[in-house]
Amino acid sequence: MPEIIFLPFEKTVRTDGSKTILQLAQDARIPLQSTCGGKKKCGKCCVIIQETHGPLSPPSEREKEILGGKVERGYRLACEIRLRHAATVLIPEESRINDLVILTRHTKHTVAYRIRPHIKQLFLEVPPPVLDPVIADRERLILVLEKRYGIRRSVMDPFVLRKLPQALRSSENEVAVILRGKNEIIDLCPGRGGGLFGVAFDVGTTTVVCFLMDLVSGEMRSVKASMNPQVAFGDDVIIRISFCHENPNGLEKLRSSIVLCLNELVASAAAEAQIDRDRIVEAVMVGNTAMHHLLVGLDPHYLSMAPYAPVLQEGQDYKARELGLGIGASAYAHLLPLKAGFVGSDTIACILATGLHRSRIPTLLIDLGTNGEIVFGIKNKMLCCSTAAGPAFEGGHIRYGMRASPGAIERLKIDSRTYDVTLKTIQNEKPMGLCGSGIISAAAEMIRAGIVLQKGDFDEEVKTHRLREGEDGLEFVLVWASESGIDQDIVMTRKDVAELQMAKSAIHAGSTLLMEEFEGEAVKRILLAGAGGNFIDPKDACTIDLFPGCLTAKVLGVGNAAGHGACLALVDQTRRKEAGRITAKLEYRELAATSRFQELFVSGMFFSSARDFEDEF
Ligand code: FES
């Protein structure tokens, strides 16, 4: 079979010609972007065929349409072409999935840990067996457990039984028993045992974070994060759900890719903390509903169809080994409860972490992403919804949009007299594009400089060579090619602003709709959770009217609140029940079912603080 070499990774794969370049890259875990999941819509999967040992089909009409002038420079769509001969394929910088800046910290605005784990370690001295009467190892241990600690009817995981004979005999009858809940023995080791550890995972659509914690002291021992490898199959959950539906083994492919990622994170966290992975005896996982279903192997198909019903809502315990997690052989993984098809356990964990359900302060909690999850409420009443904000906050559908990786513009300033631009990029690398906070910052500055008007149009009267006619109408040059890291001008187009208007309007309208049910109760606190919210300058967010309440509320970043909520539930078993109560109390509003949302969405498209063109006449 012909060999395909992927550069710059120097990875070689074989092909029988039946798979697209994108599918070959996915199988080989080569970090090639595919925002639309191979549907020939996004243009993010472009590659350059540097060499081929046979004829190559000419660019299709679709490729010409999507790639435009890039076709002449040899760019092709990886999801369009199949190679039947040996070839060398270059994945250019802009098509690679680069490492992201991942939010792992939480802030002082979140709830403190209380240590009450589901797991405890007990020390026993089990007498050796005698000839008469013969009492088996397990029964002798259970007898001692009952006599010494009053634990009745204890049960033992079969994997623990395998260790039992050696454990009892290798340390002068002393054994440390690890008990979960009231009476399940999930591990034991000879002598005085060792530390007890747990892991909490925040499984996001784009990133995954693993927190390794000491279950005795509550100390955070290590935090590791990575991209969610499912990104190679499509950027958003809808594309991944359809991937599962349209491809035989699609669900298993996505499931095994995330499990592999979790195991790599655990291994690296354990190595950093210098602990044995077998000592990790509990895991807690949170994520949106689609991530939850994909992780457990539940069919996510009906999440994408009204009424978007999940397979289950309650929090669940699984044996970690059933999920393929490489931690203690008899350890459990607990998944916090879900609320709805698009309000997952990450939202429940955010509420838990911020204490919104106990607060008397009217609070708006927003987790910004392709789907914006919004909660508004106070102690006795909480409402939630999910809005399809689209990918703009993650750089999708924006001409020079990119994820938050090195070289992404995260903040900028425009001089309102000269229109000169000063900017800050992630890791101070040469600018490559705009990440979510950069897009919001650019729009806010263009509003302040009078370039963008209330309806989002660009003011043609602005006198600067940076404002020019481009492929998609008027565009403003933020970075000249000579200063950029991609040898092209980086621009913000009118079309980009329109994408942002739709995204911000969805968040604004969803928030307003929830707040309207509180009959004039003014929001006093706006909490921004997740990477999307925490890197945004609150002033920029208010300038583009991202959410209502800027005049009355304090805007605070709460870091990775979902991850913090998962950690709380890991070290304190009572938090799991609390998560169940939050889910029961939280009322879900389906926005698609209301015409009011449409009205608010249309009115939320404006930039209220921008100049109004008509004012000038
Ligand atoms: S155009 Fe190929 S993955 Fe989107």
Instruction: In the chain, list all ranges with CATH 3.10.20.880.
Output: 119-190
Atom of ligand 1 nearest to the CA of 77: 2
Ligand 1 first shell, C-beta below 6 A: 22, 34-36, 38, 40-45, 77, 79
- DSSP-derived 3-state class of residue 74: coil
The CA-atom distances, in angstroms, between 321 and each of 281, 327, 384 are: 11, 8, 34
- Domain at 3-95: CATH code: 3.10.20.30
Burial of 251 (0-12, 13-18, 19+ CB in 10 A): buried
Ligand 1 pocket test: which of 21, 45, 62, 238 has the largest number of ligand atoms within 8 Å of its C-beta?
Answer: 45
CA–centroid distance, residue 37 to ligand 1 (Å): 6
**H/E/C letters for each residue in 270-317?**
HHHHCCCHHHEEEEEEEECHHHHHHHHCCCCHHHHCCCCCCCCCCCEE
- Domain at 119-190: CATH code: 3.10.20.880
Helix (H) or strand (E) holding 368: none
The residues, any chain, with a CB within 8 Å of residue 208's CB and separated by 6 or more, are: 201, 202, 225, 226, 227, 228, 258, 261, 262, 265
Atom of ligand 1 nearest to the CA of 37: 3
Atom of ligand 1 nearest to the CA of 45: 2
The residues, any chain, with a CB within 8 Å of residue 295's CB and separated by 6 or more, are: 203, 255, 258, 259, 285, 287, 323, 335
CB 536 within 8 A of CB 556: no
- Helical pair 289-296 and 250-273, crossing angle rounded to 10 deg: 90
Per-residue confidence (pLDDT) for residue 616, from 0 to 100: 53
Per-residue confidence (pLDDT) for residue 112, from 0 to 100: 82
CA–centroid distance, residue 282 to ligand 1 (Å): 39
CA–centroid distance, residue 312 to ligand 1 (Å): 32
Give per-residue burial for 107-132: e unless 16+ CB within 10 Å, then b: bebbbebeeebbbebbebebeeeeee
The CA-atom distances, in angstroms, between 15 and each of 23, 33, 76, 495 are: 10, 20, 18, 39
Ligand 1 pocket test: which of 32, 42, 63, 97 has the largest number of ligand atoms within 8 Å of its C-beta?
Answer: 42
Q: Which tokens hold the place of 232?
A: 């190679």
CB 261 within 8 A of CB 229: yes
Ligand 1 pocket test: which of 19, 21, 34 has the largest number of ligand atoms within 8 Å of its C-beta?
Answer: 34
Burial of 99 (0-12, 13-18, 19+ CB in 10 A): middle
- DSSP-derived 3-state class of residue 567: helix
Per-residue confidence (pLDDT) for residue 175, from 0 to 100: 94
What is the pTM assigned to this prediction? 0.88
| CATH number, domain 200-335, options 3.30.1380.10, 3.30.160.270, 3.30.420.480, 3.30.420.40 | 3.30.420.480
Ligand 1 pocket test: which of 35, 47, 63 has the largest number of ligand atoms within 8 Å of its C-beta?
Answer: 35
Per-residue confidence (pLDDT) for residue 87, from 0 to 100: 94
CB 159 within 8 A of CB 329: yes
Question: What are the strands, taking DSSP E only, across 53-152?
Answer: 75-77, 87-90, 119-125
What are φ and ψ of residue 20, in 5° steps? -75, 165
CA–centroid distance, residue 261 to ligand 1 (Å): 23
Per-residue confidence (pLDDT) for residue 380, from 0 to 100: 86
For the chain, what is the largest distance between any 2 Cα atoms, rounded to a whole number of angstroms?
106
- The candidate with the shortest Cα–Cα distance to 449, out of 435, 467, 430, is 467
Atom of ligand 1 nearest to the CA of 78: 2
pLDDT means per 10 residues in the chain (617 residues)?
A: 92 93 92 88 90 91 88 92 94 81 68 89 93 94 94 93 92 91 93 89 93 94 92 89 93 96 96 95 97 97 94 97 96 98 96 95 90 91 90 85 89 96 94 94 97 95 94 93 91 95 95 90 89 83 93 88 95 96 96 89 93 63
Ligand 1 pocket test: which of 21, 26, 39 has the largest number of ligand atoms within 8 Å of its C-beta?
Answer: 39
Atom of ligand 1 nearest to the CA of 234: 3
Atom of ligand 1 nearest to the CA of 33: 3
CA–centroid distance, residue 67 to ligand 1 (Å): 11
CB 586 within 8 A of CB 351: yes
Residue 432 to residue 407: CA distance in whole angstroms = 5
CA–centroid distance, residue 45 to ligand 1 (Å): 5
The DSSP secondary structure of 197-243, one letter per residue, reads: EEEEEEE-SSEEEEEEEETTT--EEEEEEEE-GGGGG-SSHHHHHHH
The DSSP secondary structure of 500-530, one letter per residue, reads: HHHHHHHHHHHHHHHHHTTTT----EEEEEH
Instruction: In the chain, list all ranges with CATH 3.10.20.30.
Output: 3-95
What are φ and ψ of residue 516, in 5° steps? -60, -30
CA–centroid distance, residue 233 to ligand 1 (Å): 10
Q: Which tokens hold the place of 592?
A: 């698609």
- The candidate with the shortest Cα–Cα distance to 396, out of 532, 530, 590, is 532
Q: Which tokens hold the place of 365?
A: 């909690």
Tokens 């509320």 — which residue? 553
Residue 240 to residue 37: CA distance in whole angstroms = 7
